[in-house]
């Protein structure tokens, strides 16, 4: 692993938010934030609780619409696109509090991720011509592959998601996101609840994802060790506003970032 700062300046931004604001009633969860995710980069979004990180994620994936501002994917304006369309355009995500479909098996969960790449409709589902059967078979096989790729034990693939251990649920969630064949992957606190060793493994895995699957990754992270180890760029939010941006080492030494995290020193 090369130190993050030594990377060549990344190429064009794949995902870009321009001056986005989100108001919930009188409260501004996100205020005039602009952020650029360069292609094949790993960018971290950090900030104290309630800083608006997850709200920004939700806007990027279409779960809520910005009050103001524009979100661009490649050259395409996705500000008002439906979440399922955005998934189709190549943005996949995981959730802070794991949101698997508990009553479905791990494999089925991952197959849902592939839904957007499948074609069979109502009549295809009922009549099941060879084309549909083949698609179904391939999706299942692909789901198994992805589960193996993220390191889920083989026996767990047929278990209900709700009965998997916490770590395995995290793995399945990443596999489910990968099944939609994304170009941009958004991870919301992927190391929450992990011990330092597991976090380290996940850090390595993120590099692997970027290099092998040509992914661009944006992650929300609290664990500074992970942030410093994995990201080329860091954006800091506090009270809905962007207070710093840059290379991890630079950001870490910024006084108002320290202030946001630790409070003012009088």
Partner 1 sequence: MSELRAHLLDWHEAGQRLVPPWWSRVLAGSLIAVAAVLPLFFPPSSGFINATIIAVGYAVMALGLNVVVGFAGLLDLGYVAFYALGAYSLGWFGSGFFFKARVHFLVSPVTRTLPGIHLNFIVILIAAAIICAAAGMLIGLPTLRLRGDYIAIVTLAFGEIIGVIAVNGQSVHVGDGMTLTAGNLGISAVDQPYFPGIGSFNLLDLRPWYWLILGIMLVVLFINLRLRNSRLGRAWVALREDETAAVSMGIPLVRTKLLAYSIGAAFGGLSGAFFGTYYTEVNAGQFQFGFSIFILSMVIIGGLGSIWGAIAGGLVLGFINNYLIPDVLNDLPGKFGLNFQLTQVEFGIFGFLLVIMMLLRPQGLIPERRRRLELTARIPAEDAQLADVPDAAQGAT
Q: How far apart are CA 88 and CA 23, in angstroms?
A: 27
The residue among 82 and 225 lying less far from partner 1, judged by its C-beta, is 82
- The yes or no reply on residue 112 touching partner 1 (CB under 8 A) is yes
- The binding track of 224-243 with respect to partner 1, each residue x by CB under 8 A or -, is --------------------
The residue among 143 and 260 lying less far from partner 1, judged by its C-beta, is 143
Q: How far apart are CA 147 and CA 232, in angstroms?
A: 27
Selected range binding partner 1 among 2-10, 159-167, 207-215, 221-229, rule: CB under 8 A: 159-167
Select from 21, 40, 65, 160 the one that contacts partner 1 (CB under 8 A). 160
- The yes or no reply on residue 83 touching partner 1 (CB under 8 A) is yes
- The yes or no reply on residue 54 touching partner 1 (CB under 8 A) is no
Rg (CA), the chain: 19
Q: How far apart are CA 175 and CA 168, in angstroms?
A: 10
- The yes or no reply on residue 199 touching partner 1 (CB under 8 A) is no
- The yes or no reply on residue 136 touching partner 1 (CB under 8 A) is yes
- The yes or no reply on residue 130 touching partner 1 (CB under 8 A) is no
- The yes or no reply on residue 164 touching partner 1 (CB under 8 A) is yes
Q: Is the dihedral of CA 11, 209, 59, 227 positive or negative?
A: negative
**Of 91, 215, 104, 113, whose CA–CA distance to 173 is shortest?**
113
- The yes or no reply on residue 99 touching partner 1 (CB under 8 A) is yes
Q: How far apart are CA 79 and CA 81, in angstroms?
A: 6
**Of 168, 180, 220, 211, whose CA–CA distance to 45 is shortest?**
220
**Of 232, 257, 240, 177, whose CA–CA distance to 27 is shortest?**
240
Q: CA 260: distance to chain centroid?
A: 24
**Of 201, 253, 196, whose CA–CA distance to 225 is shortest?**
196
- The yes or no reply on residue 180 touching partner 1 (CB under 8 A) is yes
The residue among 3 and 193 lying less far from partner 1, judged by its C-beta, is 193
Which spans of this chain sit near partner 1 (rule: CB under 8 A)?
Answer: 61-63, 82-84, 87-88, 92-93, 95, 99-105, 108, 111-113, 115-116, 118, 120-122, 124-128, 132, 135-136, 159-160, 162-166, 176-177, 180
């Amino acid at each position: 692993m090369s130190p993050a700062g030594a990377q060549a300046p990344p190429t064009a931004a794949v995902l870009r938010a321009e001056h986005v604001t989100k108001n919930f009633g009188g409260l501004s969860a996100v205020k005039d934030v602009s952020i650029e995710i360069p292609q094949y980069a790993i960018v971290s979004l950090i900030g104290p609780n309630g800083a608006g990180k997850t709200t920004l994620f939700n806007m990027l994936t279409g779960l809520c619409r910005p009050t103001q501002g524009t979100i661009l994917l490649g050259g395409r304006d996705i500000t008002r696109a439906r979440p399922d369309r955005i998934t189709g355009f190549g943005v996949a995500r995981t959730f802070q509090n794991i949101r698997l479909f508990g009553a479905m098996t791990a494999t089925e969960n991952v197959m849902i991720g592939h839904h957007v790449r499948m074609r069979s409709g109502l009549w295809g589902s009922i009549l099941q011509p060879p084309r549909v059967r083949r698609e179904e078979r391939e999706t299942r096989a692909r789901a198994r592959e992805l589960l193996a790729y993220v390191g889920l034990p083989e026996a767990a693939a047929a278990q209900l998601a709700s009965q998997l251990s916490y770590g395995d649920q995290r793995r399945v969630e990443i596999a489910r996101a990968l099944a939609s064949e994304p170009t941009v992957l958004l991870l919301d606190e992927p190391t929450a609840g992990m011990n330092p060793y597991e976090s380290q493994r996940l850090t390595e895995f993120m590099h692997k994802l970027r290099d092998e699957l040509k992914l661009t990754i944006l992650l929300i992270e609290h664990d500074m060790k992970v942030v410093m180890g994995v990201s080329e760029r860091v954006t800091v939010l506090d009270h809905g506003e962007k207070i710093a941006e840059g290379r991890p080492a630079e950001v870490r030494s910024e006084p108002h970032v320290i202030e946001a995290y630790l409070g003012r020193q009088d």
